[in-house]
Amino acid sequence: MKLLFYKYQGTGNDFVILDNRNNLFDKKNKELIAKICHRKFGVGADGLLLLENSNKYDFKMIYYNADGNQSSMCGNGGRCIVAFSNHLKIINNNCVFEAIDGLHYASIKNNFVKLQMINVSNITIFKNYVFLDTGSPHYVTFTTNISKIDVYNKGKEIRNSKAYFKEGVNVNFVEQRNENTFKVRTYERGVEDETLSCGTGVTAVAIAAHKISKSKSKNIILETIGGKLEVSFEIKNGNYKNVFLKGLATLVFKGTFKI
């Protein structure tokens, strides 16, 4: 059996996307999902996305990490599946879709996707880091000389610390460039490695930077290894609302995978 797939990337965060509106894909087959995402024996991706029918909205998004396990919200994956739904002509320029963390509004023009993220109100500030959930849990620490940081080993240590139990946490290392620009490197759970970009991660960084007064701007530029992203938000009574993650999402190629 051959499986038709599409590969998309958003600032280097890459995904295999399947049109599963016919509900034929075996979602319980973790080994198959992991094999498809494997960079030596499969297509190669940070995760796999399923586009499915929704009873009330434009579509439903289901996301699996590269290890085969269903995961929490993926921001760059969300932007890529919006681009994919536009490619399939399921949507035109705007949509509302279902994800594991609720509903998301998005718009697309010339492959540039603006994705509304969840509101954020629960932010915990520690001495050396900030913890918050932007659809996925994130540890944000500000540092210098970010290019010299051993993201894999330091990120892995924090990700597996007892403080976050078996679910683990995504780990973001951040260096401020100017008032509203920050460099970000992220260790992602599920991928269990540094990724070129993380959408929920840069969203967490932007909100954390504003919360601890690293920046007064409500429009933050995030420089990842894979490219630039933008996060904007509004603040009301200490709550971060109308949070938008913005950036390009593009089709890399499509093909068939032999099962």
Catalytic residue numbers?
Answer: 74, 198
Give the C-alpha separation, 113 to 190, whole Å.
Answer: 24
What is the DSSP code string of 44-100? --SEEEEEE--SSSSEEEEEEETTS-B-S--HHHHHHHHHHHHHTTS-SSEEEEEET
Q: Which helix (H) or strand (E) holds 26?
A: none
Measured CA to CA, the distance from residue 143 to residue 149 in angstroms comes to: 9
Q: Which residues contact 243 (CB under 8 A, 6 or more apart)?
A: 116, 117, 118, 119, 120, 134, 203, 207, 231, 232, 233
Interior/surface letters 44-73, b for 16+ CB within 10 angstroms, e for the rest: ebbbbbbbbeeeeebbbbbbbbbebebbbb
- Return the closest-CA partner of residue 211 out of 117, 115, 124: 124
Contact criterion met (CB below 8 Å) for 143 and 151: no
> How many residues does the structure list for the chain?
259
Q: Hey, what are 7's tokens?
A: 């590969």
Closest to 226 measured CA to CA, from 21, 65, 15, 2: 15
150: Cβ contacts below 8 Å, ≥ 6 apart: none
